[in-house]
Chain A
Amino acid sequence: MNLYDNLKHRVRYYLLRTLPTCRQTVEKISQSMERRLTLQERFKIKLHLWICAWCQWYLEHLQLIRTTARAKGDEAIDLAPGVALSDEARERIRRKLTNLN
């Protein structure tokens, strides 16, 4: 292990011991999608993400889920492929509508 790696390892270890755990961090990551975090909260997350690829991926996944789900929600083409009203439901609604007319 060269000097740089050794130092990096020590810093990482120190930060993981001192910073909030992954469990606490993912909860904050979720909240960051709901409200503006305080400067201190953001700083702790930034540091945690710097040394933790798992939480970094977690954040990216949440963002990907939001982006795609909202794009899908806006999309006017096909929200539920292959899904259609059953013949029975269609007839029931048709009867209901024509009886009123």
Chain B
Amino acid sequence: MSEPQLKSLDPSPDPGRWLDEHGDYLFKYAVFRLRDDNAAEDAVQETFLAALKAYRQFEGRGSERTWLVGILKHKVVDHFRRLGREAPIGEEVDEGPEHREFFERTDQWQGHWNAARAPSEWHASPAELLERDDFWKVFSDCLSPLPQRTASAFTMREVDGLKSEEICEILSIKTNNLWVMLHRARLHLRNCLEMNWFKRER
């Protein structure tokens, strides 16, 4: 019976190798959430710097990549937190456009879906969408026109599954602002996906 292969405990960290082995992976993780190459590069760099400092606590326990992703998660949240802080105090939170146009009608059914802008059936399964790289490209492009904080709130909520209270604290907004932001982001994203993916693909 052979011994399980244990990684030799390297006494000194090797950031060059980290960069080669995990750099692209971490960058993908960050870009998917921040949708900004420069911010994602900074987050990756800060992650490695923090990892160097904290190397003693890691001591080869568990997977190196999981450990680095754990640090990166915090860096991503730090970035969102800065967005929250940089917003001018006392100014209205930019919740994005209201999208009344979806419900504009000239007949007696004002306030109901405008038939031309109303949802249609999608015929899609999560499993199939997860495999389609081009779908995630469209997804990411659809988030781009949203105000930055709205897109960040959406990402934290729907991609990372953070609780509403956590997101409000990170972005320094009130629960009601968050709900309005998420609602508007959903209206926009759902429509954008339908126009640019579900109606094109079939």
On A, residues with C-beta under 8 Å from B are: 16, 21-24, 26-27, 30-31, 33-35, 52, 54-55, 57-58, 60-62, 64-73, 75, 78-86, 89-90, 92-94, 96-98, 100-101
Q: Which of B37-55 contact A (CB under 8 A)?
A: 37, 41, 44-45, 48-49, 52
Q: In the complex, what residue of chain A is closest to B32 when comparing beta carbons?
A: A79
Q: Would you call the interface of chain A mostly helix, strand, loop, or mixed?
A: helix
- B186 with A101: CB separation less than 8 A: no
Taken together as a complex, chains A and B put the C-alpha atoms of A47 and B28 apart, in Å, by: 43
Q: Which of B92-150 contact A (CB under 8 A)?
A: 100, 102-103, 109-113, 118-122, 124, 126, 129-130, 133, 136-137, 139-140
- B159 with A80: CB separation less than 8 A: no
- A30 with B120: CB separation less than 8 A: no
Taken together as a complex, chains A and B put the C-alpha atoms of A27 and B102 apart, in Å, by: 13
Does residue B193 face the partner (Cβ distance < 8 Å to A)?
yes
Quote the shortest CB–CB distance from A88 to chain B (angstroms).
9
- B126 with A68: CB separation less than 8 A: yes
- A69 with B120: CB separation less than 8 A: no
Quote the shortest CB–CB distance from B172 to chain A (angstroms).
18
Does residue B82 face the partner (Cβ distance < 8 Å to A)?
no
- B121 with A26: CB separation less than 8 A: no
Taken together as a complex, chains A and B put the C-alpha atoms of A35 and B168 apart, in Å, by: 14
Taken together as a complex, chains A and B put the C-alpha atoms of A60 and B121 apart, in Å, by: 9
Taken together as a complex, chains A and B put the C-alpha atoms of A62 and B188 apart, in Å, by: 11
Residue in B49, B118, B136, B194 whose beta carbon sits within 8 Å of that of A97 in the complex: B49
- A64 with B48: CB separation less than 8 A: no
Residue of B16, B119, B140, B182 with most chain A CB atoms under a 10 A cut-off: B119
- B28 with A34: CB separation less than 8 A: no
- B111 with A24: CB separation less than 8 A: yes
Known: A23-B111, A83-B27, A93-B19. 18 other contacts (CB 8 A): A16-B112, A24-B111, A60-B122, A61-B193, A75-B130, A78-B28, A81-B136, A83-B28, A84-B24, A84-B27, A85-B41, A85-B44, A86-B41, A89-B41, A90-B23, A93-B41, A97-B52, A98-B16
Taken together as a complex, chains A and B put the C-alpha atoms of A50 and B185 apart, in Å, by: 25
Chain A residues, CB < 8 A from B32: 72-73, 79-80
Chain A residues, CB < 8 A from B119: 54-55, 57-58, 61
- A67 with B186: CB separation less than 8 A: no
- B122 with A61: CB separation less than 8 A: yes
Does residue B189 face the partner (Cβ distance < 8 Å to A)?
yes
Taken together as a complex, chains A and B put the C-alpha atoms of A22 and B194 apart, in Å, by: 18
- A72 with B16: CB separation less than 8 A: no
Taken together as a complex, chains A and B put the C-alpha atoms of A30 and B37 apart, in Å, by: 30
Q: Mark B167-202, 1 if CB is under 8 A from A, else 0.
A: 000000000001100110011011001100000000
